[in-house]
A and B are shown apart, each in its own frame.
Chain A
Amino acid sequence: MVKVYSITQCPWCDKAKKYLTSKGVEFEVRNIEENEDYAKECAQISGDTMVPVITEDGKNFVLGFDKAKIDAMLGI
């Protein structure tokens, strides 16, 4: 399952989610502002607290809304 680490009032997170939906990709939203465990996970994956972070395996990730990189990582 693809995970999207995000925060509230984050237009880039919203863009990323909309894009994944438009591509038929199912994903789980993990809000790092509301959940400390998610915040720790996100920091471990990307080394920072910037969002959106999109990952499927918890290792490879795309930081920010970058369609080309998202496509490449997810093979879509």
Chain B
Amino acid sequence: MGVYDFTVKTNRGVEKSLADYKGKVLLIVNTASKCGFTPQFEGLQKLYDAYKDKGLEILGFPCNQFAAQDPGSNEEIQTFCKLNYGVKFQIFEKGDVRGENAQPLFKYLVAQKKFTGFDESSPMTAILMDALQKNFPEYLEGDDIKWNFTKFLIDKNGEVVARFEPMITPESIAKDIEALL
């Protein structure tokens, strides 16, 4: 069982086999539906612009498991939503990325790359920890996705080589992508 064995649906409902991406470096990201960590869309688009011609594909999977909460309880994270992602990479159908109903692809990804903690040096970590403890303390346990914009890097052979937690910005993983291209 590998990443190329999964079939997913695009945001327009078209089935897409991940085998179509064989030979590409993939960055698979669970994105937020309009709200939450939206600045990262810009960084992801920049990565896509920089490395698309060298063989990078970014696959965005919208999920509202983190954004559908009552926003009053974690106002510090952000207080706005954005109309369009404004991105040109492929966005797929909205679905769960954690828990029993998680999309099989994400169950596979988190089994390949387990949760090893947040980056303590990021100012976002304390805010996110606080929001999780208040709203979803159970999310802190286990290897499932913790929040929007968790990123999985897959090499040209389909091997999941890295997992980056939400506070790791797209800009900061450029070197990891370059190393695989």
Whether B71 pairs with A51 at a CB distance below 8 angstroms is no
Whether A65 pairs with B71 at a CB distance below 8 angstroms is yes
Known A-B contacts A9-B33, A10-B34, A11-B70; A49 and B78 likewise in contact (beta carbons under 8 Å): no
Find B82's partner among A11, A15, A50, A66 (CB 8 Å cutoff): A50
Minimum CB–CB distance from A42 to chain B (whole Å) comes to 8
* A13 at the B interface (CB under 8 A): yes
Whether B84 pairs with A15 at a CB distance below 8 angstroms is no
Instruction: Count residues of chain B with CB under 8 A from any CB of chain A.
Output: 19
* B83 at the A interface (CB under 8 A): yes
Find A12's partner among B71, B83, B84, B86 (CB 8 Å cutoff): B71
Find A13's partner among B69, B75, B81, B84 (CB 8 Å cutoff): B81
**Nearest-neighbor residue (CB-CB) of A52 within chain B:** B80
List, in ascending order, chain A residues with CB within 8 A of B69's CB: 11
Known A-B contacts A10-B35, A12-B35, A15-B72; A65 and B80 likewise in contact (beta carbons under 8 Å): yes
A-B contact pairs, 21 of them (CB 8 A): A7-B83, A10-B34, A10-B35, A10-B81, A11-B67, A11-B69, A11-B70, A11-B81, A12-B79, A12-B81, A13-B81, A15-B71, A15-B79, A39-B83, A49-B83, A50-B81, A50-B82, A51-B80, A51-B82, A52-B80, A65-B79
Chain A interface (Cβ < 8 Å from any Cβ of B) = 7, 9-13, 15, 32-33, 39, 48-52, 63-66
Chain B interface (Cβ < 8 Å from any Cβ of A) = 33-35, 38, 67-72, 75, 78-84, 86
